[in-house]
Amino acid sequence: MLQVRDLTKRFGGFTAVDRIGFDLDEGEILGLIGPNGSGKSTTFNLIAGALTPSGGSIVLDGREIGGKSPTEVCHMGIARTYQIPRPFRKLTVLENVAVAAYYGANSLISRSEAWRRAEEALALTRLPNDPGVRVDGLGAAGLKKLELARALATQPRLLLADESLGGLDEQEMDQAADMLSDIRREKGITIIWVEHIMGVLMRVVDRCVVLDHGEVIASGLPHDVAHDPKVVEVYLGSDAETIQTQVAGRRAGSPTGPEAAVC
Ligand code: ADP
Ligand code: MG
């Protein structure tokens, strides 16, 4: 579905993303992980059109999308969430999602269709669709769900979810991870999930790509990545054993639950 090759982003003399490459199959959940500042959000910004690549290519279904505008990329079926939610504070929750449905649709849709898509997205993210619910009443978990609902309302084929778990407690993290699994299963949406809380991510993803200083240092199945000496050295550190146990539990079909191992 998506091929990223030699993708590079320089900010002045600083290279934030350095010739990275990975493939994504339709229906997969791919985890994009790595320490703070390793280039994960920049990679999302490049795919979603918020930034123009300095080099390399991003091919969606055989078409180059690198350098296209965020609107074009959205209309081609890629939606993204932002690490820091910034909803329209003066609009209700439902209105926020309806705006996304209306402007994110790849053809002109009616107001009532936008409302219908918004209600569907709210149901998927288990947010109340009561027209009176205001954004100010949402806590951290609610704002993250709203971010996800706005992305889903554009009816994407590929969802880029950026650090959906920040600020959530353990139970909320568990629910958020289950939600991404459900979205893939129920809607067939392919997902790239950026997250630094590894225990939760590893429970859900099919494969991982690990970034460090803008470069891919490892990619593959969660089990292989969690045991990769370089990943252990630069990223997992003293949490390696915990993560490896969690991944082993997942392979044996007995998920160990979301251990909030923040790496
Ligand atoms: P991550 O999401 O993995 O934590 P980012 O992709 O946000 O990391 O950032 C990667 C690096 O690029 C960081 O060193 C960050 O400071 C830098 N960076 C990101 N955006 C910009 C920008 N617009 N201008 C300059 N430097 C940036
Ligand atoms: Mg980031």
What pLDDT digit, counting tens, does each position of 170-186 carry?
888 888 889 999 999 99
Instruction: Check residue 256 and give its pLDDT.
Output: 40
Q: Would you say the CB of residue 38 lies under 6 angstroms from ligand 1?
A: yes
Cα dist from 114 to 87, 139, 186, 246, whole Å: 17, 25, 20, 41
Instruction: Check residue 98 and give its pLDDT.
Output: 97
Choice from 42, 164, 196, 263 to test ligand 1 binding pocket (greatest atom count within 8 A of CB): 42
The secondary element (H helix, E strand) that includes residue 213 is none
How far apart are the CA of 132 and the centre of ligand 1, in A? 38
Q: Would you say the CB of residue 36 lies under 6 angstroms from ligand 1?
A: yes
Strand 14-24, strand 2-11: pairing: antiparallel
Instruction: Check residue 251 and give its pLDDT.
Output: 56
How far apart are the CA of 95 and the centre of ligand 2, in A? 27
Instruction: Check residue 261 and give its pLDDT.
Output: 36
Q: Which CATH number is 26-53+64-77+158-263 given?
A: 3.40.50.300
Choice from 8, 10, 11 to test ligand 1 binding pocket (greatest atom count within 8 A of CB): 11
Instruction: Check residue 164 and give its pLDDT.
Output: 67
Instruction: Check residue 252 and give its pLDDT.
Output: 56
Residue 252: count other Cβ atoms within 10 Å of its Cβ.
9
Cβ-proximal residues to 222 (8 Å cutoff; 6+ apart), any chain? 31, 202, 205, 207, 208, 247, 250
> Where do the structural domains in the chain lie, given as residue ranges?
26-53+64-77+158-263, 89-155
- Per-run averaged pLDDT (10 residues), the chain, 263 residues: 98 98 97 93 97 98 96 96 92 96 94 96 92 89 93 97 79 87 95 87 92 97 94 90 85 43 35
Name beta bridge partners: 194. Answer: 32, 162
Q: Would you say the CB of residue 11 lies under 6 angstroms from ligand 1?
A: yes
**Among protein residues, the one whose CA lies closest to atom 17 of ligand 1:** 16
How far apart are the CA of 17 and the centre of ligand 1, in A? 9
